[in-house]
Amino acid sequence: MPKNNEVSMSVIRRLPRYYRFLGELLRTGVERVSSRELSNLMGLTASQIRQDLNCFGGFGQQGYGYNVPHLHEEISKILGLQSQQKTILIGAGNLGRAIISYSSFKGKGFELIGVFDRDPNLIGTKIANQTIIDVKEMGEFCKQNSPTVAILCVPKTSAHAIVEKLVELGIQGFWNFSHYDIMMDYPNVVAENVHLSDSLMTLSYKVTNHTKQ
């Protein structure tokens, strides 16, 4: 049983990376891996890897290393990837459409069940097997289908009102691409923010300070 009550977010954020690297080993038929080998692959120290995995009760054996299929499976369980949280996406503009086409939700803990927009030109059209639904029907849809997660691809100006409604409708988790700070107003939901423009500005800092050196 994972003892993950007090695991820091920086450890959690490394887990998807472990999961990806173990998945690659698995696909090439590797059955066991030492923390040293994993360390060479991933660019982390072996001691960091042992420490990270020990947060969840360890999984390695002295002199054997880690069993790849077992560790892959255990990390998948810790991350909850085998669950299928019913998920809706709001805002089928350029970014929303890319998210739908680009992301594979199955196997990552989510099932996309509805896509909403307010643009009459988009409503009724299809993206990756999803027919875009009028956002006015979102309330009724949620009552019937009980989604728990929403992907927010709307501008900051519309985000607050939509989040208020979605929280009322039972949404507990947000993949948030808007600049609206959900958890300041709703501390009881969870949100994972992807702020592309912040990331771009951080790159600007890195490049500027790199070239100054």
The reply to whether 91 sits in an annotated binding site is: yes
- CB 178 → a second copy: shortest distance, Å? 12
Nearer CB in complex with a second copy: 64/102: 102
Nearer CB in complex with a second copy: 167/191: 191
Torsion of CA 197, 198, 203, 209, to 10 degrees: 130
- CB 207 → a second copy: shortest distance, Å? 4
- CB 63 → a second copy: shortest distance, Å? 27
For a second copy, the binding residues (CB under 8 A) are 4, 12-13, 15-17, 19-20, 42-43, 78-81, 83, 85, 93-95, 97-99, 101-105, 108-110, 148-149, 172-173, 175, 179, 181, 183-184, 189-192, 194-211
Are residues 178 and 153 in contact, defined by beta-carbon separation less than 8 angstroms? yes
Are residues 113 and 145 in contact, defined by beta-carbon separation less than 8 angstroms? yes
- CB 48 → a second copy: shortest distance, Å? 14
**Structure tokens belonging to residue 122:** 């988009």
* Residue length of the chain: 213
The reply to whether 93 sits in an annotated binding site is: yes
The reply to whether 150 sits in an annotated binding site is: no
List, in order, residues 6 or more apart from 2 with CB less than 8 Å away.
56, 57, 74, 77, 78
Main-chain phi, psi angles of 115, to 5 degrees: -130, 130
User: What residues are paired with 111 via a beta bridge?
Assistant: 86
Of 110, 131, 128, which is closest to residue 175 (Cα–Cα)?
110
Task: Name the strand (E) or helix (H) holding 90.
Answer: strand 85-90
Nearer CB in complex with a second copy: 68/152: 152
List, in order, residues 6 or more apart from 29 with CB less than 8 Å away.
none
At 138 the three-state DSSP class reads helix
Nearer CB in complex with a second copy: 137/198: 198
Nearer CB in complex with a second copy: 167/189: 189
- CB 34 → a second copy: shortest distance, Å? 18
The reply to whether 92 sits in an annotated binding site is: yes
Binding residues are 91-96
**Residue ranges at the known binding site for NAD(+):** 91-96
